[in-house]
Amino acid sequence: MKKYVLWFGNAGRILMLAAVLLACGCGQITDKDRIHVAKMGERYITRGDLFKIIREMPDTERPVIRTRNDLLRILNAHIDGRIKLSLGRKLAEEGKISVDREQAREQFFLESGDEEEQLRAMWRMEVPQADVVTPMMKLYGLTPELLQFNKDNIEESTDRMIEKLQGEQAVEYLAGEALKGGRISLDEEEMKREYGFMKEQLVTMEELVFSGIRFLAEDKDALQQAAAARDRISAGETFESLAAQYKQKGAADGREYVFESGIMNNPKLEKFRGFWTEASGAEPGDILGPVYLPSYRQVAQDGTGREMPAAYIVLKVLEHKPVGNLEYEIAKALVARPLLISKMMHLLREENGVEIYEDKLPDPSQFSSAAAAF
Protein backbone atom coordinates (compact mmCIF):
# COMPACT_ATOMS: atom_id res chain seq x y z
CA MET A 1 0.00 0.00 0.00
CA LYS A 2 1.39 3.37 -1.02
CA LYS A 3 1.76 5.70 1.98
CA TYR A 4 0.92 9.41 1.83
CA VAL A 5 2.50 11.51 4.54
CA LEU A 6 2.08 14.90 2.92
CA TRP A 7 0.12 15.56 -0.24
CA PHE A 8 1.01 18.93 -1.72
CA GLY A 9 -1.04 18.62 -4.91
CA ASN A 10 0.83 20.37 -7.71
CA ALA A 11 2.71 22.81 -5.47
CA GLY A 12 5.70 20.57 -4.81
CA ARG A 13 6.02 19.61 -8.46
CA ILE A 14 5.84 23.24 -9.54
CA LEU A 15 8.70 24.14 -7.18
CA MET A 16 10.78 21.25 -8.52
CA LEU A 17 10.24 22.26 -12.15
CA ALA A 18 10.90 25.90 -11.31
CA ALA A 19 14.27 24.92 -9.87
CA VAL A 20 15.13 23.03 -13.05
CA LEU A 21 14.08 25.92 -15.29
CA LEU A 22 16.10 28.36 -13.20
CA ALA A 23 19.11 26.08 -13.39
CA CYS A 24 18.98 26.08 -17.19
CA GLY A 25 18.54 29.85 -17.30
CA CYS A 26 14.81 29.81 -18.15
CA GLY A 27 13.88 31.61 -14.94
CA GLN A 28 16.13 34.63 -15.42
CA ILE A 29 14.50 37.89 -16.43
CA THR A 30 15.99 38.98 -19.77
CA ASP A 31 14.94 41.34 -22.54
CA LYS A 32 13.76 38.33 -24.56
CA ASP A 33 11.36 37.42 -21.74
CA ARG A 34 9.54 40.71 -22.45
CA ILE A 35 8.82 39.85 -26.07
CA HIS A 36 5.06 39.77 -26.72
CA VAL A 37 3.69 36.39 -27.86
CA ALA A 38 -0.03 37.18 -27.56
CA LYS A 39 -2.55 39.84 -26.65
CA MET A 40 -5.90 39.77 -24.83
CA GLY A 41 -7.73 43.06 -25.03
CA GLU A 42 -5.24 45.67 -23.81
CA ARG A 43 -2.99 43.18 -22.00
CA TYR A 44 0.01 41.49 -23.60
CA ILE A 45 1.32 38.01 -22.79
CA THR A 46 5.11 37.84 -22.90
CA ARG A 47 7.59 35.03 -23.28
CA GLY A 48 8.25 35.36 -19.55
CA ASP A 49 4.53 34.85 -18.90
CA LEU A 50 4.61 31.74 -21.10
CA PHE A 51 7.56 30.30 -19.13
CA LYS A 52 5.59 30.90 -15.92
CA ILE A 53 2.46 29.24 -17.37
CA ILE A 54 4.46 26.11 -18.25
CA ARG A 55 6.15 26.00 -14.82
CA GLU A 56 2.77 26.07 -13.08
CA MET A 57 1.02 23.47 -15.25
CA PRO A 58 -0.02 20.24 -13.46
CA ASP A 59 2.09 17.21 -14.40
CA THR A 60 -0.90 15.54 -16.02
CA GLU A 61 -1.45 18.50 -18.36
CA ARG A 62 2.12 19.47 -19.26
CA PRO A 63 3.02 18.07 -22.71
CA VAL A 64 6.47 17.30 -24.02
CA ILE A 65 7.58 20.46 -25.82
CA ARG A 66 9.33 19.70 -29.09
CA THR A 67 7.91 22.22 -31.56
CA ARG A 68 6.40 25.69 -31.66
CA ASN A 69 3.04 24.02 -32.21
CA ASP A 70 3.38 22.49 -28.73
CA LEU A 71 3.97 25.98 -27.32
CA LEU A 72 1.07 27.32 -29.36
CA ARG A 73 -1.31 24.72 -27.91
CA ILE A 74 -0.23 25.63 -24.38
CA LEU A 75 -0.66 29.35 -25.07
CA ASN A 76 -4.10 28.90 -26.65
CA ALA A 77 -5.25 26.64 -23.81
CA HIS A 78 -4.15 29.26 -21.28
CA ILE A 79 -5.99 32.05 -23.09
CA ASP A 80 -9.14 29.93 -23.43
CA GLY A 81 -8.88 29.06 -19.75
CA ARG A 82 -8.75 32.71 -18.74
CA ILE A 83 -11.79 33.50 -20.88
CA LYS A 84 -13.71 30.57 -19.38
CA LEU A 85 -12.71 31.44 -15.81
CA SER A 86 -14.02 35.00 -16.12
CA LEU A 87 -17.25 33.92 -17.80
CA GLY A 88 -17.81 31.09 -15.33
CA ARG A 89 -17.59 33.42 -12.35
CA LYS A 90 -19.86 35.98 -13.99
CA LEU A 91 -22.61 33.56 -15.03
CA ALA A 92 -22.46 31.75 -11.69
CA GLU A 93 -22.99 35.07 -9.88
CA GLU A 94 -25.94 35.76 -12.18
CA GLY A 95 -27.43 32.37 -11.34
CA LYS A 96 -27.35 31.15 -14.94
CA ILE A 97 -25.07 28.20 -14.20
CA SER A 98 -24.18 26.20 -11.10
CA VAL A 99 -21.75 23.45 -10.14
CA ASP A 100 -22.48 21.03 -7.31
CA ARG A 101 -19.53 20.90 -4.92
CA GLU A 102 -19.82 17.16 -4.34
CA GLN A 103 -19.78 16.47 -8.07
CA ALA A 104 -16.77 18.78 -8.49
CA ARG A 105 -14.91 16.88 -5.76
CA GLU A 106 -15.78 13.61 -7.48
CA GLN A 107 -14.38 14.96 -10.76
CA PHE A 108 -11.20 15.98 -8.97
CA PHE A 109 -10.81 12.45 -7.60
CA LEU A 110 -11.39 10.95 -11.06
CA GLU A 111 -8.66 13.17 -12.53
CA SER A 112 -6.14 12.33 -9.80
CA GLY A 113 -4.69 9.29 -11.58
CA ASP A 114 -2.80 6.87 -9.35
CA GLU A 115 -3.51 9.04 -6.29
CA GLU A 116 -7.30 8.67 -6.59
CA GLU A 117 -7.88 5.83 -4.15
CA GLN A 118 -5.57 7.27 -1.47
CA LEU A 119 -7.19 10.71 -1.75
CA ARG A 120 -10.66 9.20 -1.47
CA ALA A 121 -9.58 7.24 1.59
CA MET A 122 -8.18 10.35 3.30
CA TRP A 123 -11.31 12.34 2.49
CA ARG A 124 -13.51 9.68 4.13
CA MET A 125 -11.44 9.68 7.33
CA GLU A 126 -12.57 11.70 10.32
CA VAL A 127 -9.86 13.85 11.91
CA PRO A 128 -9.49 12.56 15.49
CA GLN A 129 -8.35 14.46 18.54
CA ALA A 130 -4.66 15.28 18.87
CA ASP A 131 -2.32 12.29 19.40
CA VAL A 132 -4.99 9.79 18.31
CA VAL A 133 -4.07 7.67 15.28
CA THR A 134 -6.69 5.29 13.90
CA PRO A 135 -5.76 2.02 12.12
CA MET A 136 -6.59 3.58 8.72
CA MET A 137 -4.43 6.62 9.47
CA LYS A 138 -1.59 4.34 10.49
CA LEU A 139 -1.93 2.51 7.18
CA TYR A 140 -1.26 5.78 5.31
CA GLY A 141 1.34 7.12 7.77
CA LEU A 142 -0.88 10.01 8.90
CA THR A 143 -1.10 12.06 12.09
CA PRO A 144 -4.22 14.17 12.84
CA GLU A 145 -2.32 17.28 11.67
CA LEU A 146 -1.22 15.69 8.40
CA LEU A 147 -4.69 14.30 7.74
CA GLN A 148 -6.22 17.75 8.24
CA PHE A 149 -3.55 19.25 5.96
CA ASN A 150 -4.40 16.78 3.18
CA LYS A 151 -8.16 17.28 3.60
CA ASP A 152 -7.64 21.05 3.32
CA ASN A 153 -5.68 20.50 0.10
CA ILE A 154 -8.51 18.39 -1.27
CA GLU A 155 -10.94 21.22 -0.54
CA GLU A 156 -8.66 23.73 -2.30
CA SER A 157 -8.43 21.41 -5.30
CA THR A 158 -12.22 21.12 -5.27
CA ASP A 159 -12.47 24.93 -5.38
CA ARG A 160 -10.26 24.97 -8.48
CA MET A 161 -12.31 22.19 -10.07
CA ILE A 162 -15.51 24.17 -9.45
CA GLU A 163 -14.05 27.13 -11.32
CA LYS A 164 -12.94 24.87 -14.17
CA LEU A 165 -16.39 23.27 -14.48
CA GLN A 166 -18.10 26.66 -14.21
CA GLY A 167 -16.00 27.85 -17.16
CA GLU A 168 -17.01 24.84 -19.25
CA GLN A 169 -20.66 25.30 -18.31
CA ALA A 170 -20.49 28.99 -19.18
CA VAL A 171 -19.26 28.31 -22.72
CA GLU A 172 -21.93 25.64 -23.22
CA TYR A 173 -24.62 28.03 -21.95
CA LEU A 174 -23.45 30.83 -24.26
CA ALA A 175 -23.17 28.41 -27.19
CA GLY A 176 -26.81 27.43 -26.67
CA GLU A 177 -27.86 31.07 -26.55
CA ALA A 178 -25.80 31.87 -29.65
CA LEU A 179 -27.34 28.94 -31.50
CA LYS A 180 -30.86 30.10 -30.62
CA GLY A 181 -30.00 33.67 -31.61
CA GLY A 182 -28.46 32.66 -34.92
CA ARG A 183 -24.92 33.84 -34.09
CA ILE A 184 -23.62 30.32 -34.71
CA SER A 185 -25.08 27.45 -36.70
CA LEU A 186 -24.52 23.80 -37.61
CA ASP A 187 -25.42 22.03 -40.83
CA GLU A 188 -25.78 18.34 -41.57
CA GLU A 189 -22.73 18.20 -43.81
CA GLU A 190 -20.27 19.41 -41.17
CA MET A 191 -21.94 17.18 -38.56
CA LYS A 192 -21.41 14.10 -40.75
CA ARG A 193 -17.85 15.17 -41.52
CA GLU A 194 -17.11 15.51 -37.80
CA TYR A 195 -18.75 12.15 -37.13
CA GLY A 196 -16.35 10.60 -39.64
CA PHE A 197 -13.39 12.06 -37.73
CA MET A 198 -14.75 10.96 -34.33
CA LYS A 199 -16.29 7.61 -35.26
CA GLU A 200 -13.54 5.47 -33.72
CA GLN A 201 -13.96 7.32 -30.42
CA LEU A 202 -17.76 7.16 -30.39
CA VAL A 203 -18.25 3.83 -28.68
CA THR A 204 -20.33 2.55 -25.82
CA MET A 205 -18.18 1.06 -23.06
CA GLU A 206 -18.58 -2.51 -21.92
CA GLU A 207 -20.94 -2.51 -18.95
CA LEU A 208 -21.73 -5.07 -16.29
CA VAL A 209 -24.79 -5.03 -14.03
CA PHE A 210 -24.47 -7.42 -11.11
CA SER A 211 -25.60 -8.43 -7.65
CA GLY A 212 -22.70 -8.79 -5.23
CA ILE A 213 -21.79 -10.02 -1.79
CA ARG A 214 -18.95 -7.87 -0.51
CA PHE A 215 -16.38 -7.96 2.25
CA LEU A 216 -14.70 -4.63 2.95
CA ALA A 217 -11.03 -4.55 2.01
CA GLU A 218 -10.19 -2.79 5.28
CA ASP A 219 -11.06 -6.01 7.16
CA LYS A 220 -7.97 -8.20 7.55
CA ASP A 221 -9.74 -11.43 6.58
CA ALA A 222 -11.86 -9.93 3.77
CA LEU A 223 -10.34 -12.10 1.03
CA GLN A 224 -10.69 -15.25 3.12
CA GLN A 225 -14.37 -14.45 3.83
CA ALA A 226 -15.03 -13.86 0.13
CA ALA A 227 -13.25 -17.12 -0.79
CA ALA A 228 -15.33 -19.02 1.78
CA ALA A 229 -18.54 -17.57 0.31
CA ARG A 230 -17.50 -18.63 -3.19
CA ASP A 231 -16.65 -22.15 -1.92
CA ARG A 232 -20.21 -22.49 -0.60
CA ILE A 233 -21.59 -21.65 -4.05
CA SER A 234 -19.15 -24.05 -5.70
CA ALA A 235 -20.38 -26.73 -3.29
CA GLY A 236 -23.95 -26.31 -4.54
CA GLU A 237 -25.52 -23.45 -2.59
CA THR A 238 -27.29 -20.91 -4.80
CA PHE A 239 -26.12 -17.32 -4.98
CA GLU A 240 -29.61 -16.12 -4.04
CA SER A 241 -29.72 -18.30 -0.91
CA LEU A 242 -26.31 -17.11 0.21
CA ALA A 243 -27.19 -13.47 -0.51
CA ALA A 244 -30.36 -13.79 1.60
CA GLN A 245 -28.30 -15.07 4.52
CA TYR A 246 -25.84 -12.20 4.24
CA LYS A 247 -28.72 -9.72 4.13
CA GLN A 248 -29.87 -11.05 7.49
CA LYS A 249 -26.31 -10.94 8.82
CA GLY A 250 -25.95 -7.39 7.58
CA ALA A 251 -29.13 -6.31 9.37
CA ALA A 252 -27.74 -7.76 12.60
CA ASP A 253 -24.20 -6.37 12.12
CA GLY A 254 -25.23 -2.96 10.78
CA ARG A 255 -23.34 -3.58 7.52
CA GLU A 256 -24.36 -3.83 3.89
CA TYR A 257 -23.02 -7.11 2.57
CA VAL A 258 -25.36 -7.47 -0.41
CA PHE A 259 -25.66 -4.77 -3.06
CA GLU A 260 -26.53 -4.30 -6.71
CA SER A 261 -24.54 -2.10 -9.05
CA GLY A 262 -23.47 -1.39 -12.59
CA ILE A 263 -19.95 -0.57 -13.72
CA MET A 264 -18.46 0.49 -17.06
CA ASN A 265 -15.13 -0.67 -18.41
CA ASN A 266 -13.43 2.69 -18.85
CA PRO A 267 -9.89 1.99 -20.16
CA LYS A 268 -8.68 5.28 -18.66
CA LEU A 269 -9.33 4.03 -15.13
CA GLU A 270 -6.31 1.83 -14.51
CA LYS A 271 -7.35 0.86 -10.99
CA PHE A 272 -10.22 -1.28 -12.34
CA ARG A 273 -7.99 -3.28 -14.69
CA GLY A 274 -7.78 -6.23 -12.28
CA PHE A 275 -11.56 -6.35 -11.90
CA TRP A 276 -12.15 -6.29 -15.66
CA THR A 277 -9.50 -8.93 -16.29
CA GLU A 278 -11.81 -11.22 -14.36
CA ALA A 279 -15.16 -9.76 -15.42
CA SER A 280 -14.83 -8.76 -19.09
CA GLY A 281 -17.03 -10.84 -21.36
CA ALA A 282 -18.99 -12.44 -18.52
CA GLU A 283 -22.55 -13.40 -19.38
CA PRO A 284 -25.79 -13.13 -17.35
CA GLY A 285 -25.93 -15.85 -14.74
CA ASP A 286 -22.14 -16.22 -14.42
CA ILE A 287 -20.73 -16.28 -10.89
CA LEU A 288 -17.41 -14.48 -10.47
CA GLY A 289 -15.02 -13.99 -7.60
CA PRO A 290 -13.63 -13.46 -5.22
CA VAL A 291 -12.42 -10.38 -7.08
CA TYR A 292 -11.15 -7.06 -5.76
CA LEU A 293 -13.33 -4.05 -6.62
CA PRO A 294 -11.70 -0.67 -5.81
CA SER A 295 -13.70 2.14 -4.27
CA TYR A 296 -15.92 4.07 -6.67
CA ARG A 297 -18.91 6.35 -6.73
CA GLN A 298 -22.24 4.81 -7.65
CA VAL A 299 -24.38 7.36 -9.51
CA ALA A 300 -28.14 7.01 -9.96
CA GLN A 301 -30.10 8.21 -13.01
CA ASP A 302 -31.16 11.34 -11.11
CA GLY A 303 -27.52 12.32 -10.58
CA THR A 304 -27.37 11.47 -6.88
CA GLY A 305 -24.66 9.10 -5.77
CA ARG A 306 -22.95 7.34 -2.91
CA GLU A 307 -19.44 6.15 -2.17
CA MET A 308 -18.86 2.43 -2.60
CA PRO A 309 -15.91 1.22 -0.49
CA ALA A 310 -13.12 -1.02 -1.75
CA ALA A 311 -14.03 -4.67 -1.20
CA TYR A 312 -13.51 -8.27 -2.18
CA ILE A 313 -16.72 -9.47 -3.78
CA VAL A 314 -18.49 -12.53 -5.09
CA LEU A 315 -20.95 -11.51 -7.77
CA LYS A 316 -23.63 -12.80 -10.08
CA VAL A 317 -23.89 -11.14 -13.49
CA LEU A 318 -27.38 -9.78 -14.19
CA GLU A 319 -26.70 -8.01 -17.48
CA HIS A 320 -23.74 -7.61 -19.83
CA LYS A 321 -23.49 -4.93 -22.51
CA PRO A 322 -20.54 -5.34 -24.90
CA VAL A 323 -18.56 -2.55 -26.55
CA GLY A 324 -20.35 -1.08 -29.57
CA ASN A 325 -20.08 1.78 -32.06
CA LEU A 326 -22.60 4.60 -31.92
CA GLU A 327 -24.57 5.14 -35.12
CA TYR A 328 -24.72 8.65 -36.52
CA GLU A 329 -28.31 9.42 -35.44
CA ILE A 330 -27.54 8.40 -31.85
CA ALA A 331 -24.17 10.17 -31.82
CA LYS A 332 -25.36 13.50 -33.24
CA ALA A 333 -25.56 15.21 -29.85
CA LEU A 334 -22.01 14.07 -29.01
CA VAL A 335 -20.78 15.30 -32.39
CA ALA A 336 -22.57 18.64 -32.13
CA ARG A 337 -21.15 19.59 -28.72
CA PRO A 338 -17.45 20.01 -29.66
CA LEU A 339 -18.43 21.82 -32.87
CA LEU A 340 -20.60 24.30 -30.99
CA ILE A 341 -17.97 24.80 -28.29
CA SER A 342 -15.28 25.43 -30.91
CA LYS A 343 -17.43 27.99 -32.73
CA MET A 344 -18.38 29.71 -29.46
CA MET A 345 -14.74 29.92 -28.36
CA HIS A 346 -13.87 31.48 -31.73
CA LEU A 347 -16.47 34.20 -31.11
CA LEU A 348 -15.31 34.73 -27.52
CA ARG A 349 -11.69 35.09 -28.60
CA GLU A 350 -12.73 37.73 -31.12
CA GLU A 351 -14.77 39.55 -28.45
CA ASN A 352 -11.79 39.48 -26.09
CA GLY A 353 -9.40 40.85 -28.72
CA VAL A 354 -7.16 37.80 -28.77
CA GLU A 355 -4.13 38.01 -31.03
CA ILE A 356 -1.37 35.38 -31.32
CA TYR A 357 2.13 36.25 -32.55
CA GLU A 358 3.41 32.81 -33.57
CA ASP A 359 6.69 34.11 -34.97
CA LYS A 360 7.54 35.53 -31.52
CA LEU A 361 7.25 32.23 -29.68
CA PRO A 362 10.53 31.10 -28.04
CA ASP A 363 12.76 28.33 -29.34
CA PRO A 364 11.26 25.01 -28.09
CA SER A 365 14.74 23.60 -27.47
CA GLN A 366 14.92 25.82 -24.37
CA PHE A 367 12.44 23.45 -22.73
CA SER A 368 13.95 20.11 -23.72
CA SER A 369 16.64 20.01 -21.02
CA ALA A 370 14.18 21.09 -18.36
CA ALA A 371 11.67 18.43 -19.37
CA ALA A 372 14.32 15.70 -19.47
CA ALA A 373 15.65 16.64 -16.04
CA PHE A 374 12.16 16.76 -14.56
Q: Full-prediction pTM beyond 0.85?
A: no
Residues 239 and 283 in one domain: yes
Residues 96 and 240 in one domain: no
Quick: pLDDT tens for 279-312. Answer: 998 999 999 999 999 988 777 666 667 888 899 9
Computed over every residue of the chain, the mean pLDDT equals 87
Asked if pLDDT for residue 236 goes beyond 50, the answer is yes
CATH value at residue 207: 3.10.50
Residues 125 and 245 in one domain: no
pLDDT value, residue 69: 92
pLDDT value, residue 303: 63
pLDDT value, residue 139: 86
- The total domain count for the chain is 2
pLDDT value, residue 301: 64
What number is the average pLDDT over the span 311-321? 96
What number is the average pLDDT over the span 2-22? 48
pLDDT value, residue 153: 96
Closest to 5 in 3D by CA, of 145, 128, 157, 109: 145
Residues 242 and 277 in one domain: yes
Q: Using CA of residue 7, residue 8, residue 14, residue 16, what is the dihedral sign?
A: negative
Residues 218 and 121 in one domain: no
In 10 A of CB 151, how many CB atoms? Answer: 18
Asked if pLDDT for residue 117 goes beyond 50, the answer is yes
Radius of gyration of the chain (CA): 25
Query: Residue 52 corresponds to which amino acid?
Result: K
pLDDT value, residue 208: 94
pLDDT value, residue 302: 65
pLDDT value, residue 144: 93
Residues 52 and 85 in one domain: yes
What number is the average pLDDT over the span 320-342? 90
pLDDT value, residue 20: 45
- Longest Cα–Cα distance of the chain, Å, equals 80
CA gap 60, 90 in Å, rounded: 28
Contacts of 350 (CB under 8 A, 6+ apart): none
Residues 318 and 349 in one domain: no
The backbone region for 197, taken as left when phi is positive above 0, alpha when psi lies in -120 to 50, beta otherwise, is alpha
Asked if pLDDT for residue 367 goes beyond 70, the answer is yes
Quick: pLDDT tens for 242-269. Answer: 999 999 999 999 999 999 999 999 887 8
Residues 279 and 374 in one domain: no
Asked if pLDDT for residue 354 goes beyond 70, the answer is yes
Q: Using CB atoms within 10 A of its CB, is residue 304 exposed (0-12), middle (13-18) or buried (19+)?
A: exposed
Q: Are 55 and 367 in contact (CB under 8 A)?
A: no
* Domain span at 312: 203-323
Residues 4 and 97 in one domain: yes
Ranking 41-55, 107-121, 179-193, 337-351 by mean pLDDT, the lowest is: 107-121
Residues 117 and 139 in one domain: yes
Contacts of 210 (CB under 8 A, 6+ apart): 260, 261, 262, 263, 288, 315, 316, 317, 318
Residues 161 and 225 in one domain: no
pLDDT value, residue 298: 78
Residues 144 and 10 in one domain: yes
Higher pLDDT, 25 or 342: 342
Higher pLDDT, 114 or 77: 77
pLDDT value, residue 170: 97
